[in-house]
Amino acid sequence: MTFQPVHIPYEEIWALPSFNPGDMFMGLRFLDESKGEEILAGLAIDTFVAGRLANEQEQMVESALAGGTVIPAEALNATHTSYDKTGGTVLVHRAEALLVKEYIESLNLDAGKRFKTPEGGIADLYIEGQEGIEIVEAKRGADRQFVRQTLSQLLDYAPHSPKPADLLTALFPSQPASSSIELLHRYGIDCVYRTGPGVFTRLAAPDDIRFYLQQRWSAVT
């Protein structure tokens, strides 16, 4: 088994829906499957096993397409994996958590809140502020692929917001391309990006588009 040393403040774990502020757990704690998956998703931890599964699925699809065979649906719908006894690398993506932390500090908030969807997704940040209810999803890059991921996640999370969302915000470490910003605005989503230490710029979606789509954000189908 190999490990990657990383510093994760208690506050980031307390912000997860199934954990409580002030829980100063020390040493080793075993979690049930549900909480274990919440930790992996909420702290952006990619396991070696999960990465290997994704690679195996891709190879299966490639082989089936090239050979003209049918792809079993169940082969592409694995919701979890088991740890291999041989172990492997565990990657912890800290950039997104640090970006959210800095954004929270720029708003003079004491701490961030998060919520969990029935399918297990966890929003990066939930704010009840002067501008209303804001849901924030952060990414460690501003390339098109990250913009598209953020868009889909925000639209997935919004219907499950504890209160109807007034703002959906995509948070990036730098300014995305104009075409990517236009993509977000097309769905009424604001683009916020870091311009310096503790400094963020908001490119708001047009009000008419946001108002038009707000009802759809909250609609659970």
Query: Domain for residue 197, yes or no?
Result: yes
- Does residue 151 surpass a pLDDT of 90? yes
Apex 31 CA angle, 27 and 17, nearest 5: 105
Q: How far apart are CA 18 and CA 14, in angstroms?
A: 8
- Does residue 78 surpass a pLDDT of 60? no
Query: Domain for residue 41, yes or no?
Result: no
pLDDT, tens only, 190-208: 999 998 888 999 999 999 9
Query: Domain for residue 109, yes or no?
Result: yes
How many domains does the chain divide into? 1
Query: Domain for residue 77, yes or no?
Result: no
Query: Domain for residue 140, yes or no?
Result: yes
Query: Domain for residue 115, yes or no?
Result: yes
DSSP state for residue 64 in the 8-state scheme: H
CATH of the domain at 124: 3.40.1350
Query: Domain for residue 176, yes or no?
Result: yes
pLDDT, tens only, 10-42: 787 777 877 777 777 777 777 777 777 777 777
**Torsion over CA of 139, 145, 150 and 151, rounded to 10 degrees?**
160
- Does residue 183 surpass a pLDDT of 60? yes
Domain with 145 in it: 95-217
Name the average pLDDT for the chain: 79
Query: Domain for residue 133, yes or no?
Result: yes
Comparison of pLDDT for 23 and 156, the residue scoring more: 156
